[in-house]
């Protein structure tokens, strides 16, 4: 699942044609394509002909059924960071087919009866199952609640009705959060399409020219088309994001970029998608901006499984509503993926900053401090003073660190008081204590016998004294 707004190209079930890679280049083997005449990109001006990317174009925005996934539909809003297309990687893609069941661009399919039954069955599984007909149903209800909170398993509640499938998208799942992603500001006519490769960035850069040639052959090898690389970015898990655009030259000498939605629609064809997969492409999507109406409609409909109250609070907490949009994070895997992407972006920013520092040092070498630099120094000193203030961030951080150290110390002391005895040694100790107990019991019996003897001697002495006293009286 992906937190980026754009459905992955995925893998098709049956390839229309599998083609062998071109010889001599192992990194991006170019599959054989169909005849070049079938891939004319010519866009006529004031003519009736229609090329592959010319003529009527479907420029509808590719949002499907919100954040949820529905069988047989193209999901435009993926839940998660997917392959991690940037910490702010908000992407869109064109919907493959129109859905007659949709009431509007973002509205859910008209499946009210099915959704109602699903809700009733879920409520029955969590509150009042009637599977066993005795007090065990109450235990079953608690078990179903636990599964729903965790977001996995099946909830049995009636012998005549199939169990409820609990997924992480169910509204009772506790492992959910809302983050924010950047919205792209690119136009459709900019023609930017994102391709994610399951290859390292170093491999992509070292074979960039071969990659461009392979993509050109995928487009039919038309000489009026030119494939250009806009940017290359490293992604977690040894993946790489490549942003491309295609320029089409007309016979009269003018040129234009092929619209992003048109290029993406071409890549989504079954045979073309198979060829891209042979090149190592795991995901493709457009990078186009959202219209204000689309953003408004998106924010009005909470994603599947996200509580409307949480969604409303996420919109309120949005640090920059003009550039960021809330996206759900469902499950620990999605959270880990987002953390990986954030770490990757931080490393890239640090790398760029290091380069800028070196350039600035070389540029300002031998110059005196300028007015803007002095102003910047004053601002930095002010920030440093604020951070070092006792009641500000650094003081609070030191206090938290001291509390953590104390907790670790107490935990270490408690752990030192725990003893673990070997099983054989424990048996020996028990045997020794048992023998001591038997010895003490024997000693006690001897003492009791001695006390009885002492009592007899004392009684005999008393009788002798009494007799002697009677004789002399």
CA distance 404 to 455: 69
Residue 440 has pLDDT above 80, yes or no: yes
- For residues 160 and 70, the model is more confident at 160
Kind plus residue range of the DSSP H or E element containing 165: strand 164-165
pLDDT tens, 84-142? 333 333 343 333 333 333 333 233 444 556 667 888 888 889 998 998 889 999 999 99
Residue 62 has what pLDDT? 34
Residue 194 has what pLDDT? 94
Cβ-in-10-Å burial (0-12, 13-18, 19+) of 352 comes to: exposed
* Contact assessment for residue 272 and residue 232, using Cβ atoms and an 8 Å cutoff: no
Residue 69 has what pLDDT? 34
CA 190 to chain centre: 29
Residue 404 φ then ψ, to 5°: -65, -40
CA distance 188 to 191: 6
Confidence band (pLDDT; 50, 70, 90) for 72?
very low
pLDDT tens, 290-347? 888 888 888 998 887 788 888 999 999 999 988 999 998 888 888 898 888 889 889 9
Residue 176 has what pLDDT? 87
Confidence band (pLDDT; 50, 70, 90) for 378?
very high
CA dist 80 to 8, 54, 67, 176, 247, Å? 12, 34, 10, 11, 32
Residue 37 has what pLDDT? 36
Poorest-pLDDT segment among 36-45, 75-84, 376-385, 445-454:
75-84
pLDDT tens, 248-280? 998 888 999 999 999 999 999 999 999 999 999
In this prediction, residues 362-391 reach a mean pLDDT of 86
What pTM did the predictor assign? 0.50
Residue 171 has what pLDDT? 84
| Residue-range domain boundaries for the chain | 1-357, 368-418, 430-473
Residue 59 has pLDDT above 50, yes or no: no
In this prediction, residues 145-149 reach a mean pLDDT of 92
Contacts of 446 (CB under 8 A, 6+ apart): none
Residue 393 has what pLDDT? 79
pLDDT tens, 188-206? 999 999 999 999 999 999 9
Residue 167 φ then ψ, to 5°: -115, 170
- Ranges 44-53, 56-65, 371-380, most confident: 371-380
Give residue for tokens 């052959």.
Answer: 217
Residue 442 has pLDDT above 60, yes or no: yes
Residue 216 has what pLDDT? 92
- For residues 49 and 167, the model is more confident at 167
Residue 414 has what pLDDT? 57
Residue 330 has what pLDDT? 86
Residue 39 has what pLDDT? 41
Confidence band (pLDDT; 50, 70, 90) for 210?
very high
CA 433 to chain centre: 58
Confidence band (pLDDT; 50, 70, 90) for 417?
low
Residue 244 φ then ψ, to 5°: -125, 165
Q: How much of the chain exceeds pLDDT 90, in percent?
A: 34
Residue 26 has what pLDDT? 38
- For residues 115 and 22, the model is more confident at 115
CA distance 214 to 460: 123
Residue 471 has what pLDDT? 55
Give residue for tokens 């038309």.
Answer: 222
Residue 470 has what pLDDT? 60
User: 381: helix, coil or strand?
Assistant: helix
Q: What is the chain's mean pLDDT, rounded?
A: 76
Residue 391 has pLDDT above 70, yes or no: yes
């Amino acid at each position: 699942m992906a937190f980026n707004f754009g459905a992955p190209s995925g893998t098709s079930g049956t390839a229309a044609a599998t083609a062998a890679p071109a010889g001599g280049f192992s990194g991006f083997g170019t599959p054989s394509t169909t005849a070049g005449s079938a891939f004319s990109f010519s866009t006529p001006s004031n003519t009736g002909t229609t090329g592959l990317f010319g003529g009527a174009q479907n420029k509808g925005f590719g949002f499907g059924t919100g954040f949820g996934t529905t069988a047989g539909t193209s999901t435009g809003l993926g839940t998660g960071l997917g392959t991690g297309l940037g910490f702010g990687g908000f992407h869109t893609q064109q919907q493959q087919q129109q859905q007659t069941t949709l009431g509007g661009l973002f509205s859910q399919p008209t499946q009210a009866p099915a959704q109602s039954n699903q809700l009733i069955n879920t409520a029955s599984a969590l509150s009042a199952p009637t599977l066993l007909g005795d007090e065990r149903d109450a235990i079953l209800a608690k078990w179903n609640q636990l599964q729903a909170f965790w977001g996995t398993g099946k909830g049995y509640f009636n012998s005549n009705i199939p169990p409820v499938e609990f997924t992480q998208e169910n509204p009772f799942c506790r492992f959910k959060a809302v983050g924010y992603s950047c919205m792209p500001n690119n136009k459709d006519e900019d023609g930017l399409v994102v391709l994610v490769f399951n290859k390292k960035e170093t491999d992509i850069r070292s074979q960039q020219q071969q990659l461009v040639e392979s993509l050109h052959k995928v487009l039919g090898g038309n000489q009026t088309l030119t494939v250009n690389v806009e940017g290359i970015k490293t992604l977690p898990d040894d993946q790489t994001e490549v942003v491309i655009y295609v320029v089409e030259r007309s016979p009269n000498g003018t040129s234009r970029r092929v619209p992003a939605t048109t290029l993406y629609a071409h890549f989504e064809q079954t045979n073309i998608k198979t060829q891209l997969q042979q090149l190592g492409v795991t995901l493709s999507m457009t990078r186009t901006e959202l219209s204000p109406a689309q953003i408004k409609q998106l924010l009005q409909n909470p994603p599947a499984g996200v509580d409307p109250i949480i969604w409303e609070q996420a919109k309120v907490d949005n640090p920059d509503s003009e550039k960021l949009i809330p996206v759900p994070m469902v499950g620990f895997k999605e959270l880990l993926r987002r953390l990986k992407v954030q770490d990757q972006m931080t490393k890239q920013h640090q790398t760029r900053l290091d380069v800028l520092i070196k350039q600035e040092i070389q540029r300002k070498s031998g110059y005196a401090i300028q007015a803007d630099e002095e102003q910047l120094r004053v601002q930095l000193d002010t920030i440093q003073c604020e951070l070092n203030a006792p009641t500000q961030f650094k003081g609070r951080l030191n206090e938290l660190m001291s509390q953590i150290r104390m907790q670790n110390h107490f935990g270490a002391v408690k752990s030192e008081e725990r003893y673990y005895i070997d099983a054989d040694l424990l048996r020996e100790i028990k045997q020794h204590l048992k023998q001591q107990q038997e010895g003490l019991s024997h000693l006690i019996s001897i003492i009791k016998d001695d006390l009885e003897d002492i009592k007899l001697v004392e009684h005999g002495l008393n009788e002798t004294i009494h007799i002697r006293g009677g004789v002399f009286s």
